[in-house]
Structures are given as structure tokens and as C-alpha cells.
Amino acid sequence: MSVTQTAQLMDGRGLAERIVKEAAAKAAEISRRTGAGPCLATVLVGEDPASVAYVRMKRARCARAGIQSRHIGLPAATTTAELIGTLAELSGDPEVHGILLQHPCGPHIDERAAFEAIAPEKDVDGVTMRSFAAMSFALPGFVSCTPGGIVRLLEAYDVGLAGKRAVVVGRSAILGKPVGMLLLAKDATVTYCHSRTADLPAIVREADVVVAAVGRPRLIRGEDIKPGAVVIDAGYNPGNVGDVDFDTARARAGLITPVPGGVGPMTIAVLLAQTVEAAANQLGIGEH
């Protein structure tokens, strides 16, 4: 009788808790030394229920970590120019250390133009072109939060990336593309796949590390996972379903992230950690 392999789960919740605890200690030290606590401004256009819930959750996590939050809710009819004006004002406010524009903002908003209105030193969500360039060239700056969380998970589980074949399924500007750049910086050989990729399963079968970030439930099948591969599921679809067919993939992978409880908690943890880092930089205390 053959024994079915069961992949080790990568615990994003536990690692995120440790990152947030460390960020909270740094936030308290910043407040003690400067009298000004780190402050994250959240900006939301309209009242999309999912976006409202995400912002509420992020503000609650800020409060638990001793990070102040300022919320700016804008009407659904807000124009791109008006949104840019709000973001520029926050960028110039010395009491705000990080800015998060909750997206999507609506089809009438030029999101790229809005993102670029965020000052790079306050781009704690890692969404500007300058932040992407920093990730691509391994320069100082803030990483996109979900890709940054993925890399921290890989590091926590001692996944050696040098020389490994990494396949990223998805090419969004804030997830797929930047996570590929971060993996490349770790000396992985990176292949991007997307909706026009021919024979996706054949490419996935060659991967030592698979990052699924395309927003299609159970797109990656377990039968296409290389035995012992590391599977990072960054998808989140209705019904708590990821982009990977978890049950079948777990039978072949070596390490795998669950949905929920894998990548999701890491995203918010990195956001909080980068907000604290931004505050330290802006308040002139550097390493503390």
C-alpha cells in the first residue's frame, strides 16, 4: 500500500503575529522617543462592501499594533483629479507616515495616476512605479505587501531559491509582476504565466516554486504540481477558495499555503511593518 505525501502547511497567521508584535514594539519606541506615533492614512472611494470590510480590518489591526489610523472616505463619484488631490495632500502632511489607497477604486478612476500621487516615502503598500523599480533593482524602498509577505514566508520556512525554477501565474502590477522581481533578486529562475500562456500545466509541472496569483478558483491542479514543490496560493475567491486545488496539490507538494491563513495575514503584517519603518524614517530616528 502506497503512502500519500501530505505537504507541510505554511502558517501565515503565526508568522504574521510575530511580525506585527515586532512592529508594535517599534511603534511604541517611536512614540516614546518622538511623542508622535506612526500613522497610516486609508483612502476609500465609494462604499463597496468588500473594500469597506478590508479597510475596517486594516484599521483594527493598526489599533492593536499601536499604529494610529486616519480614514478618508470619498464619494463613489469622486474624479481622478479629486482623488489625486486628496493623496497629494496626505503626502504633504507630516503627521501621516503611510498611505493606503484601497483598490479597486471604480472603472472611472485612473488608478495608476492615483497611485503615482502617493509620495514614495509614504508608499507603504508598494504600489508606485518607483517602488516597483526599487524591487526590480534591489534598491531600498517599500515592497508590494503581498509579494513581500510571500518572500517572508519562504524565508521563514528556509526555502532556498537560488537556482530554483519559480513559476508565477499572474502578472498584475501589485502582485504577479513584483513577486517575480523579488524572487529573481533571490536568484530564482522566474517564468511568468498569464491568460495567453500556452500549455500552462506543462510549465507548472517544471516548477520548484509555484505562486498562484491570477484570481481563478482552483486553476492550478494537484496533478500538475511537481512532487515536493513549494506552492504559494495568493488567490482568494468566493467561498474561501484559492487559485490552487488545495486537496490534490497538498498530496504532491512539499510545502503549501492554506486559504485562508496563508498569504492573507502576511499582507497586512507587511503593511503594518512598513508603516512603522516609514514613520521611523520620516521622524529621523532610523534604526531604533
Model's pTM, two decimal places?
A: 0.94
User: Does residue 138 sit within a domain?
Assistant: no
Kindly state the DSSP code that residue 244 receives in the 8-state scheme. B
Residues 252 and 206 in one domain: yes
User: Does residue 205 sit within a domain?
Assistant: yes
Arithmetic mean of pLDDT, 115-129: 98
Domain range for 228 = 145-264
Give the residue among 163, 171, 45 at the shortest CA–CA distance from 104: 45
User: Does residue 286 sit within a domain?
Assistant: no
* pLDDT (0 to 100) of residue 202: 98
User: Does residue 188 sit within a domain?
Assistant: yes
Residues 178 and 249 in one domain: yes
Give the residue among 181, 145, 178, 148 at the shortest CA–CA distance from 268: 145
Arithmetic mean of pLDDT, 22-31: 97
How many angstroms separate the Cα of 114 from the Cα of each of 12, 48, 105, 117, 124?
A: 30, 18, 10, 5, 15
Residues known to be catalytic: 58, 102, 125
User: Does residue 192 sit within a domain?
Assistant: yes
Per-residue confidence band for 115, with pLDDT thresholds at 50, 70 and 90 = very high
Arithmetic mean of pLDDT, 138-155: 97
* pLDDT (0 to 100) of residue 286: 67
Number of separate domains in the chain: 2
Please determine, for residue 256, whether its predicted confidence score (pLDDT) is greater than 50.
yes
User: Does residue 125 sit within a domain?
Assistant: no
Residues 244 and 177 in one domain: yes
Our CA dihedral for 9, 12, 14, 18, rounded to 10 degrees, sits at 140
* CATH number of residue 88's parent domain: 3.40.50.10860
User: Does residue 126 sit within a domain?
Assistant: no
Per-residue confidence band for 287, with pLDDT thresholds at 50, 70 and 90 = low
User: Does residue 194 sit within a domain?
Assistant: yes
